Amino acid sequence: MTDDIAQHYRQIITALGENPDREGLRDTPKRAAKAMQFLNAGYQQSLEEIVNGAIFESQTDEMVLVKNIELYSMCEHHLLPFIGKCHIAYLPDGKVLGLSKFARIVDMYARRMQIQENLTREIADAVQQVTGAKGVAVVIEARHLCMMMRGVEKQNSSMTSSVMLGGFRENPATRQEFLTLIN
Ligand SMILES: Nc1nc2c(ncn2[C@@H]2O[C@H](COP(=O)(O)OP(=O)(O)OP(=O)(O)O)[C@@H](O)[C@H]2O)c(=O)[nH]1
Ligand SMILES: [Zn+2]
């Protein structure tokens, strides 16, 4: 697959008016192909595989919050990065998820072609599915390079998206506690 993608990058470099055989660009199609494969590696993963059974019994029924998980994704419209952070909270119902797995879930969905709203939704649904929690809240704050480097060229705007499930949706106090904790 790498060779196939590299071949296309060679054509793109040529179409952009560059010489793909000059010294600095000679290995670029292959490097770019590998980088793009890494940034899209989420298509090769499944939720079951990354969670790897790391679900533990627990009687806690208080909110658990994992804050400031850094996030790098590619917007599906321009294939340019969007960069930010993700906050995930849930209300356990008899079981908790291994801490590192929240970051793995974020990465699996971020390493696909995305829009921020769908990414937020997919992370929330995945946490809900693996934990069976009484509620899940996900907030993503991100800056989109397609809006900064090109297009409208706005350097300081960021986008916040959120998905609230179960108790976070039904109970304003729970939602408020989550929002206070992340701010
Ligand atoms: N809602 C949402 N929009 C996004 C996201 N990433 C990129 N976009 C937007 O997708 C839209 C695509 O609009 P088009 O008019 O088809 O493309 P374009 O001509 O390149 O648009 P401009 O960026 O305005 O130059 C733009 O408004 C982008 O800002 C995202 O994660 N969520
Ligand atoms: Zn974009």
Q: What is the ipTM of this complex?
A: 0.86
Clarify whether residues 65 and 140 are in a common domain: yes
Q: Is residue 120 part of a domain?
A: yes
* pLDDT for residue 83: 98
> Cβ distance 135 to 156 under 8 Å?
no
Which CATH number belongs to the domain containing residue 30 in this structure?
A: 1.10.286.10
| Long-range CB contact pairs, 156-162, < 8 A, 24+ | 158/84, 159/116, 161/116, 161/117, 161/119, 161/120, 162/120, 162/137, 162/138
Q: What is the mean pLDDT of residues 161-178?
A: 98
Give tens-digit pLDDT for 79-95. Answer: 999 999 999 999 999 99
Q: What is the DSSP string of 73-139?
A: EEETTT--EEEEEEEEEEE-SSEEE-HHHHHHHHHHHHSSEE-HHHHHHHHHHHHHHHH--SEEEEE
* pLDDT for residue 71: 98
Residue 5 has pLDDT above 90, yes or no: yes
Clarify whether residues 151 and 62 are in a common domain: yes
Clarify whether residues 119 and 165 are in a common domain: yes
The ligand minimizing its distance to the Cα of 110 is: 1
Q: Which domain holds residue 28?
A: 2-39
Clarify whether residues 84 and 172 are in a common domain: yes
Q: Is residue 44 part of a domain?
A: no
Which CATH number belongs to the domain containing residue 70 in this structure?
A: 3.30.1130.10
Distance 53 CA to ligand 2 centre (A): 35
Clarify whether residues 21 and 93 are in a common domain: no
116 catalytically annotated: yes
Residue 61 has pLDDT above 90, yes or no: no
Q: Is residue 67 part of a domain?
A: yes
Please give the tally of structural domains in the chain: 2
Q: Is residue 49 part of a domain?
A: no
Q: Is residue 45 part of a domain?
A: no
Please tell me the residue having the least CA distance from ligand 1 atom 27: 147
How far is residue 52's CA from residue 30's CA, in Å, rounded to a whole number?
Answer: 32
Distance 51 CA to ligand 2 centre (A): 30
Clarify whether residues 32 and 71 are in a common domain: no
The ligand minimizing its distance to the Cα of 79 is: 2
Residue 161 has pLDDT above 90, yes or no: yes
How far is residue 94's CA from residue 112's CA, in Å, rounded to a whole number?
Answer: 32
Q: How many of the other CB atoms lie within 10 Å of CB of 77?
A: 12
Residue 159: which residues within 8 A CB-CB, separation 6 or more?
116, 141, 142, 143, 144
* pLDDT for residue 20: 98
Q: Is residue 47 part of a domain?
A: no
**Tokens 């196939």 label which residue?**
4
From the candidates 76, 117, 170, 176, give the one annotated as an active-site residue: 76
Clarify whether residues 31 and 89 are in a common domain: no
Give tens-digit pLDDT for 7-50. Answer: 999 999 999 999 999 999 999 999 999 999 999 999 999 999 99
Give tens-digit pLDDT for 97-115. Answer: 999 999 999 999 999 999 9
pTM over 0.80? The answer is yes
Clarify whether residues 142 and 70 are in a common domain: yes
Residue 130 has pLDDT above 90, yes or no: yes
Mean pLDDT, all residues of the chain: 98
Cβ of 83 closer than 6 Å to ligand 1, yes or no, is no
